[in-house]
Structure 1
Amino acid sequence: MRYAEKLQQRIKSSGSRLCVGLDPRPGEHGASYAKDFLLRVIEETAVWAAAFKPNMAYFEAMGIEGIRILEEILASVPEDIPVILDAKRSDIGETQKYYAQGYFNGWNVDAVTLNPFLGYDSIEPFLNFEGKAVYLLAVTSNPGSADFQQQVLQDGRQVFELVTALGDRAKEEERATDVGYVVGLTNAESVLSKMPDSPLLVPGLGAQGGDLTALAAAKRTAPDVINVSRGILYAQDEKGFRARAEYWMEKIASGYGSV
């Protein structure tokens, strides 16, 4: 089964497009607290999660213990829920080969985010894994996406369209790995008409203030998921993780449309 099929099945069975971001902030409590915290998040939100997205930076900040924690929480995710490892890796092909082996074979995550700006040969080592996917950074949710990603080229295309061309090439070559894109909700309105109908990982809802209207208007059929991290893990309210996840699931459903 291809990754996009697995994700589509999960979206349908859960009735949700919510991707739950896993961003541990141990602070003074330490790594052991972070592990227990994340295991509780996964247990309570799994019913509403179309996918989970651990962010490598937060685990790496805890050193070797953080990597051990990541391995433990990956093992706790139910098999039918895809895991998108938010690593944003970018390097020359030989180094990327080992990243790909580590993430897809060693940790067995379903998908990984990549920075594609080193070119096609830098993503190629990830493209021959059955049932896996990569999400290429296309138009991110930060204001700095205007510095490069949305710049207009001489031929009229924008820079992010060079990124989607890499995905088109992989599809033409019938690669085993699916290629999707990261498109920030805060910058989505002006770019969605130029995005392929491939899986999107959409950050920017909640704390960053993104609006779902543009996604709903695009009438996409791909298994897109919308990430929420802080709004579930660190909201200043009396709700538990499950109730927060349900709130965001319902908000996405009302703004995006039925799954």
Structure 2
Amino acid sequence: MTENYEQKLARRIAKTGSRLCVGIDPRPDLMDGKVEDVLRRLIAETAPYAAALKPNMAYFEAMGIKGVELLEELLSEVPEDLPVILDAKRGDIGETQRYYAKAYFENWNVDAVTLSPFMGFDSIEPFLHHEGKGVYLLGVTSNPGSQDIQRQKLADGRYVFELVQEFRQRGIDEGLPGSVGLVVGLTNVAPEVMERVADVPLLVPGLGAQGGDLAGLAAEKRDAPTVINVSRGIMFPEEGNSFSDQAKYYAELIANQFAN
């Protein structure tokens, strides 16, 4: 039986003792050296402390075809037991999504993808046909604009993000093998939100440069695996620090919070 995405991620967390997800958001204008060399060094130095890697498609696409080719090369070099979450936030009609799923899960063999769910269940379903893979649906994102739609209340008292997380159970009910998790921004973690977030895999951005507080998240006792993303805080370290130093710092910071 094929190991599902949640099992692979949980195994990695247990192996490393880390819930750190290392975001890869290359900005050539801020990087000291050739982009490809810096990114290879970033992956090599942070891998021992990482539960997952999260390359962001937008930053690679901004470099043109060479950026996309570089991403493809890097993905082929990631250790097999280190999960890769491709931050693509795709959301389109089902047939188009089927080809995105083929590109990411078959051609690039990433482990999970971020998706925008606001076109409905049939827009995420094509990804859920891929055994051993996962998706993270935008639930309560870290930007202030999450209040505009995601944290709006419906007539029955539920938040919009609660409709989104119900897609997980729908996928299970329909016998689809893909795993469904949720993106919950650390800057918007609050009791009135977290008490409504189901026990599903969470991808949590917002630690580091965005100023999110781990305490509210760590207080939640969950069985499903949670990873906390740090991008700029690792990619652009304080003077004198290495990628390894920063990754170790954040991995330990997260671990200490979750141990309390």
Q: CA deviation at 1:173?
A: 1.9
| Corresponding residue for residue 173 of structure 1 | 174
| Corresponding residue for residue 243 of structure 1 | 245
Q: Provide TM-score, normalisation by structure 1.
A: 0.96
Structure 1 pair 145–29 and aligned structure 2 pair: CA distance change class (3 A): closer
Per-residue CA deviations over 1:205-239 (Å, capped at 9, x if unaligned) read 11111111111211112111000000100123311
Gaps of 5+ in 2: none
Gaps of 5+ in 1: none
Distance 1:125 1:29 in 2: 37
Q: CA deviation at 1:28?
A: 7.9
| Corresponding residue for residue 59 of structure 1 | 60
Q: CA deviation at 1:244?
A: 0.6
Give the match's secondary structure for 1:198. Answer: coil
| Corresponding residue for residue 212 of structure 1 | 214
Per-residue CA deviations over 1:95-117 (Å, capped at 9, x if unaligned) read 00100000000100000000000
Give the match's secondary structure for 1:87. Answer: strand
Q: Provide TM-score, normalisation by structure 2.
A: 0.96
| Corresponding residue for residue 27 of structure 1 | 29
Q: Considering only aligned residues, what root-mean-square deviation do their CA atoms show, in Å?
A: 1.4
- Counting aligned pairs with the same residue, the percent is 61
Structure 1 pair 257–174 and aligned structure 2 pair: CA distance change class (3 A): farther
Give the match's secondary structure for 1:53. Answer: strand
Per-residue CA deviations over 1:36-72 (Å, capped at 9, x if unaligned) read 1110000001000000000000000000000110011
Distance 1:217 1:208 in 2: 20
Distance 1:225 1:257 in 2: 14
Instruction: Return the match for 1:203 from 202, 205, 214.
Output: 205
Which segment drifts farther, 193-202 or 4-13? Answer: 193-202
The AA in structure 2 aligned to 1:230 is R
| Corresponding residue for residue 76 of structure 1 | 77
Count how many residue pairs are aligned between Structure 1 and Structure 2. Answer: 257
Structure 1 pair 28–212 and aligned structure 2 pair: CA distance change class (3 A): closer
Distance 1:43 1:141 in 2: 28
| Corresponding residue for residue 194 of structure 2 | 192
| Corresponding residue for residue 99 of structure 1 | 100
Q: CA deviation at 1:29?
A: 6.9
Give the match's secondary structure for 1:218. Answer: coil
Segments of 4+ moved more than 3 angstroms: none
| 2:46 pairs with 1:36 | no
Distance 1:68 1:100 in 2: 18
Q: CA deviation at 1:171?
A: 1.9
Per-residue CA deviations over 1:128-171 (Å, capped at 9, x if unaligned) read 11110000000000011011100111010001111011112112
Give the match's secondary structure for 1:97. Answer: helix
